[in-house]
Amino acid sequence: MQATGPDLRSLYHEADAVRRKHVGDAVYLRGVIEFSNICRKSCSYCGINRTNKAVQRYRMKPEEIVLQCEKALEQGCTTVVLQSGEDLWFDCDRMCRIIRDIKSKYPLAITLSIGERPREELAEMRRAGADRYLLRFETSDPELFARLHPDDVLKERLACLENIRKAGFQPGSGFLIGLPWSNPEIIAHDIIFATKLRLDMIGCGPFIAHPDTPLADKPLLDDRELYFKTIAILRLLNPPAHIPATTAFDAMAPHSRDRLLTLGANVVMPNLTPMRYRKLYMLYPNKPCVDEDDSRCGECLKRRLAALNRSIGKNFGHGLSAGSALSGC
């Protein structure tokens, strides 16, 4: 993690070459619909955790979620990511109805990012037609995980990840870079841990302190380059994985997502949440694109990709790794 100067440029060049060889130049657009900011968990880094009384809570109607998927097609997305806090009003039956409704109307892959669910529910949602499931482990250090998750256990999070794989989903996970009380050794272990999980998508972003959480005063890393090195190393160790340039990087520094696409990333995730809800889904402060409507956000991303000479992926972008439940689809 100490690469600097020519060594750092070489690292980034090699990561980009590995990306080009294994997943190509296409960038997949996966549109995110943040359909509820209600959450039962108290994760101390998250702006929508249940103890934050400053949050104005909302919950989209199921038909509203389905209708919003039309925006995904309009913006060139081949995947819609249904993301929420752990809101159990959206039980298994409701989620399955939403999934089936989307699949019956739109040619889209579906990624779920709705937290920990029981094994039987995961299997039901997979049978309903959902393709992928994203559940970040956040840190592989058990003591740090416990410190940040007062009502969760790392062992249970990892068991849920295993159930996601067994249910037939393409599994996605990842971690927060630069968590309080972390260090380069823990980040290196997180990278190795994510690699051992054989993930189809590895999603990582910088920890950015939210002012209404217990970690409000925790700063970004002094070594800002460590955030980018982490993504490059993940690409080198996981050649066939889909690695997004996550939106939080642009909150850390403008146009960081563009830079990530030059050192290994191959996915971007435009925000398709209806405008009236966007400012209410603040996992971290200074979130970009909350004031842009769907068309402006999509067109901006397309211009940025064109400037990088990167095309937009036209297929579903299913997982290519050996561990993928849908490898070869």
**Domains of the chain with CATH codes:** 5-307 (3.20.20.70)
Judged by average pLDDT, the poorest of 77-81, 107-111, 136-140, 284-288 is 284-288
- pLDDT, tens digit, 9 for 90 and up, residues 278-315: 999 999 999 998 887 766 777 888 899 999 999 999 99
Res 327: pLDDT: 36
Q: How confident is the model at residue 321 (pLDDT cuts 50, 70, 90)?
A: low
- Rounded CA-CA distance 114/96 in Å is 13
pLDDT of residue 324 exceeding 70? no
Torsion, Cα 188 15 240 102, to 10 degrees, reads: 90
pLDDT, average across residues 227-253: 97
pLDDT of residue 230 exceeding 70? yes
Among 85, 33, 30, 31, residue whose Cα is nearest residue 277? 33
For the chain, the 3-state helix, strand and coil shares in percent, each to the nearest 5, are: 40, 15, 45
pLDDT, average across residues 246-257: 96
Average pLDDT, the chain: 94
Res 323: pLDDT: 43
pLDDT, average across residues 123-145: 98
> CB under 8 Å to 73, separation ≥6 — which residues?
106, 107, 108
Give the three-state DSSP class for 91: coil
Q: How does 219-245 read in b/e, with b if 16+ C-beta sit within 10 Å?
A: eebeeeebbbbbbbbbbbbbebbbbbb
Q: How confident is the model at residue 129 (pLDDT cuts 50, 70, 90)?
A: very high
Q: How confident is the model at residue 329 (pLDDT cuts 50, 70, 90)?
A: very low
Res 325: pLDDT: 40
Report the 3 state secondary structure along 125-185: HHHHCCCEEECCCECCCHHHHHHHCCCCCHHHHHHHHHHHHHCCCEEEECEEECCCCCCHH
Separation in Å, CA 215 to CA 52, 152, 202, 252, 308: 12, 17, 25, 16, 36
pTM of the predicted structure, to 2 decimals: 0.94
Res 3: pLDDT: 64
Strand partners, 177: 206
pLDDT, average across residues 13-42: 97
> CB under 8 Å to 77, separation ≥6 — which residues?
29, 30, 31, 108, 270, 272
Q: How confident is the model at residue 320 (pLDDT cuts 50, 70, 90)?
A: low
pLDDT, average across residues 201-222: 97
Res 302: pLDDT: 86
